[in-house]
Chains A and B, each alone.
Chain A
């Protein structure tokens, strides 16, 4: 039966991808088992089950940067620090991002890079850049606020998830297990930053002469190849910025960091006092969004 569904998929390659395992029928089959299991759990104990995930956590396998690579370069410095952090146990590193608003030129390159890297469909955006105009002519200024996920230390989004599909990793990254997520969108409402969006199963080139293949190719989020076809996750799931975990695991910086033309975005391990982000967080210009909510973002802005 699942063979059949595979064949119906818009593209042949998808059959090889992980997603085919997650089709509607298979899930329905599981549902029956699950219900029984669920009742069993229910009748047993309602003790807190540790939020854990079935998302395969790729063991970080980066290679250090070659020695010939220039040392005096912000990006490469951060990449080296990234490598260093990955050598530590996950709980000893705390990823953080710093965005310098005075350096941000409001180009939205980070937005688009993220869209492309994660193959984000219409309605899904992880890092919009918000623009505001202040003042009156001729004393006017424009300010730009890129807004990825804050990877809150106390994330309200996680609290509300009924199935613990979204959780905080030991290294501070707030992730979503697409296979677990039921798509209830509770977390979307709960995020004070609007950082979560939903995958409605749409395509940009739908309704044009051709549904383009690049939209059906897998992205690599969470170190998994998932093609957005049929009902497969992440379609009909909530999605959000994951600090490009799949890149971190390869020893690569998040996409929005590398592409930033204003060099306004920094990333690293804030538990490492030597790291660039630690230095920047120490700046007197530092600020976090909606501090009053107690979410304690790991996303710092320099203003």
Chain B
């Protein structure tokens, strides 16, 4: 029943989103409340939010597949899957943000080596292939099992997605296969690390390289992007696993590790944010100051204090600390959820405040038009399309989660060092259940 409601809701939201997308494609960018001076808005916020989620999730997966954090093995596929779907969501947001989305292919054909965005788009595509490859590798045994054991849609899916791969019937064959997987996953993971860093650090650089926007124009920005990606990725996985992951003996341990990671990332993130603000406020470049003021005390204040500081930092820290005392998995999950939502605030405050002040003082008064202002609030179409895209991606993710062996117990474990010996996790308190 609950599930049905859940799907109906998602379908409705997706439907509304599709309608809004229709409007957007029919009428072009005029449906937004963006302006020629405030040129990026909600869609770009979600774009970097999802790219961040993707990069963060992926990096989490590399902890498992590259750095062998076995404690997190359970969530390896989940991380990869969320990396994939987040990326898709992110790309959909870039696409609808283009004035001429039908020309997206230009990015592949016409090159400008000095454009970070240009590089990023290539990165994204490679990165998608990589995530897909990795995902397939780690799931192929389960897919094979699905193909052979299941009937109906799962069986068909298994047949298609396994791409003809079948788990060897023999122990030894299986071991060999497992080894291959392990090796390839590791290789892909190693390639993937710089790629994920590139994906999101690079996304940060899209902003950081802009001398026109002092608010962005600092080398710390790409790093903040990466760290906050890690925050959001681990938060998402924590949330998903806590709420939807099968309850078993391992779960509390996994969650404990995850939440520890999360806290650490949040900590680093906070330090960086403070550094950025201190430096910005100290150097006092007027345009920068206006942006920072807007964030700390201006129109973006509530988003900063409630979203960025409250939801994305303090609340998760409190929840996780509490959960360590009472051992509640739910609280950890909530901490994850809160962080994920809070990260949206972080993304908003990364993008929008850069536009609050004119490049040349009084420019906004020189020629007055509703599209020539330094203020912005998303239009209904922007909001509805965003909800729609998110609903669609959640829907697809949910279906994948249901149909695919995302959290599986197929028995194959990666070899190598055990989690216990991995420094990050050992410090965390273990569960008491």
Contacts and interface: CB of A to CB of B under 8 A. Distances in A.
Interface of A: 24, 27-28, 30-31, 34-35, 37-39, 41-42, 46, 48-49, 51, 108, 111, 122-125, 128-132, 145, 147, 156, 158-165, 180-186, 188-194, 196-202, 231, 233, 235-238, 289, 293, 295
Given A49-B111, A159-B114, A184-B117, A131 B104 contact: no
B28 A236 contact: yes
B210 A189 contact: yes
Contacts of A41: 108-109, 111
Interface stretch (B29-37, B51-59, B63-71, B268-276): B29-37
B44 to A, nearest CB: 9
| A-B complex: 4 closest residue pairs judged by Cβ atoms | A183-B99, A38-B108, A123-B371, A34-B105
Between A38, A199, A289, the greatest number of chain B beta carbons within 10 A of the residue's beta carbon is seen for A38
A41 to B, nearest CB: 6
Between B35, B106, B209, B371, the greatest number of chain A beta carbons within 10 A of the residue's beta carbon is seen for B106
Contact of B370 (A35, A123, A130, A231): A123
Given A124-B36, A200-B30, A186 B115 contact: yes
A189 B39 contact: yes
A192 B115 contact: no
Contact of B371 (A27, A39, A198): A198
26 contacts: A34-B108, A35-B105, A46-B113, A48-B111, A111-B366, A122-B369, A125-B36, A125-B369, A128-B367, A129-B366, A130-B361, A156-B211, A160-B115, A180-B110, A181-B103, A182-B99, A184-B98, A185-B99, A186-B117, A189-B39, A191-B359, A201-B27, A202-B30, A231-B100, A236-B28, A236-B99
B295 to A, nearest CB: 17
Contacts of B110: 49, 163-165, 180
Given A128-B363, A159-B115, A189 B108 contact: no
Given A130-B363, A132-B361, A201-B27, A160 B39 contact: no
Given A51-B112, A182-B100, A122 B106 contact: no
Contacts of B243: none
Interface string B344-366: 00000000001100111111011
A76 B174 CA distance: 86
Contacts of A293: 211
A162 B107 contact: yes
Between B114, B125, B355, B365, the greatest number of chain A beta carbons within 10 A of the residue's beta carbon is seen for B114
Contacts of B125: 42
B372 interface: yes
Contact of B117 (A28, A162, A180): A162
B108 A37 contact: yes
Contacts of A129: 366-367
Contacts of B355: 189
A50 B97 CA distance: 26
A300 to B, nearest CB: 16
Nearest to A186: B117
A163 B107 contact: yes
Nearest to A184: B98
Contacts of B114: 158-160
Given A49-B111, A200-B371, A231 B213 contact: no
Contact of A194 (B118, B210, B211, B363): B363
B360 A145 contact: yes
Interface string B364-395: 01110111100000000000000000000000
B172 interface: no
B418 to A, nearest CB: 40
B179 interface: no
Given A156-B210, A181-B99, A165 B361 contact: no
A185 B367 contact: no
Nearest to A124: B36
Given A34-B105, A38-B105, A182-B104, A193 B359 contact: yes
B122 interface: yes
B206 interface: yes
A181 B191 CA distance: 32
A189 B212 contact: yes
B188 interface: no
Contact of A42 (B35, B98, B108, B213): B108
A132 B362 CA distance: 7
Interface in B11-33: 27-30, 32
A200 B30 CA distance: 5
B116 A202 contact: no
A161 B110 CA distance: 10
Given A24-B102, A147-B360, 18 more contacts: A27-B100, A27-B103, A34-B109, A35-B108, A51-B112, A122-B371, A128-B367, A130-B360, A159-B112, A160-B117, A163-B103, A164-B115, A182-B100, A182-B103, A188-B36, A190-B211, A201-B28, A201-B30
Nearest to B354: A189
Contacts of B209: 159-160, 190
Given A183-B98, A185-B99, A191-B359, A111 B367 contact: yes
A184 B118 CA distance: 11
Given A182-B104, A185-B39, A185-B40, A162 B115 contact: yes
B404 interface: no
A194 B371 CA distance: 13
B121 interface: yes
A133 to B, nearest CB: 9
B112 A163 contact: yes
Given A49-B110, A122-B369, A194 B37 contact: yes
Given A147-B363, A194-B363, A182 B106 contact: yes
Between A124, A125, A189, the greatest number of chain B beta carbons within 10 A of the residue's beta carbon is seen for A189
Contact of B99 (A161, A164, A184, A194): A184
A24 B40 CA distance: 23
A289 B360 CA distance: 9
